[in-house]
Amino acid sequence: MSKYTRVYGTHDILPKEAERWRGVEGVIHDFMELHGYGEIRTPIFENTELFSRGIGSETDIVSKEMYTWEDTNKQSLTLKPELTAPVVRAFVEHHIGRQTPISRLYYLDALFRRDRPQKGRQRQFHQFGLEAFGSAHPEQDAEVISMAYKIFDTFGIEELNLQVNSIGSSEVRPAYLKILREALQPHITEFCDTCQTRLDRNALRLFDCKSKTCQKLLDAHAPVIIDHITEEDRVHFDQVLEYLTLLNIPFTQNNKMVRGLDYYSRTTFEITSSAIGAQDALCGGGRYDGLVEQIGGKPTPAVGFAAGLERLLLAMGEAEDEPESLTDIYFLILGDKSRGQALITADQLRREKGLRVIVETMRRSMKAQMREANRQKAQYTIIMGDDEFDREVAIVKDMAQGEQHEIPLDALTDQFQVGSECGCCENDKHPEED
- The binding site for ligand HAM (CB under 6 A) comprises 82-84, 113, 115, 121-122, 125, 127, 129, 131, 281-286, 304-308, 310-311
Q: Which is nearer to ligand HAM, 121 or 356 (CB)?
A: 121
Q: How far is the CB of 278 from ligand HAM (least distance, A)?
A: 12
Sign of the CA dihedral with 90 first, then 128, 323, and 277 last: positive
Q: Which is nearer to ligand HAM, 124 or 413 (CB)?
A: 124
Characterize 24-36 residue by residue with b for buried, 16 or more Cβ atoms within 10 angstroms of its Cβ, and e for exposed.
beeebeebbeebe
Q: Which is nearer to ligand HAM, 142 or 307 (CB)?
A: 307
Q: How far is the CB of 139 from ligand HAM (least distance, A)?
A: 17
Task: Report the chain's terminal Cα–Cα distance, integer Å.
Answer: 58
Q: What is the DSSP string of 50-69?
A: HHHHHT-TTSHIIIII--EE
287 torsion bin: left (phi>0), alpha (psi -120 to 50), beta (else): beta
Q: How far is the CB of 309 from ligand HAM (least distance, A)?
A: 8
Q: Tell me, what amino acid is at 153? A: D
Residue 155 to residue 134: CA distance in whole angstroms: 29
Q: Which is nearer to ligand HAM, 141 or 310 (CB)?
A: 310
Q: Which is nearer to ligand HAM, 189 or 252 (CB)?
A: 252
Q: How far is the CB of 228 from ligand HAM (least distance, A)?
A: 22
Q: Which is nearer to ligand HAM, 51 or 416 (CB)?
A: 51
Q: How far is the CB of 126 from ligand HAM (least distance, A)?
A: 8
Residue nearest ligand HAM (C-beta atom)? 308
Q: How far is the CB of 68 from ligand HAM (least distance, A)?
A: 17
124 SS3 class = strand
Q: Which is nearer to ligand HAM, 147 or 394 (CB)?
A: 147
Radius of gyration for the alpha carbons in the chain, expressed in angstroms and rounded: 29
CA distances from 83 to 58, 253, 387 (A): 18, 26, 60
Residue 167 to residue 225: CA distance in whole angstroms: 6
Q: How far is the CB of 94 from ligand HAM (least distance, A)?
A: 18
Residue 266 to residue 246: CA distance in whole angstroms: 20
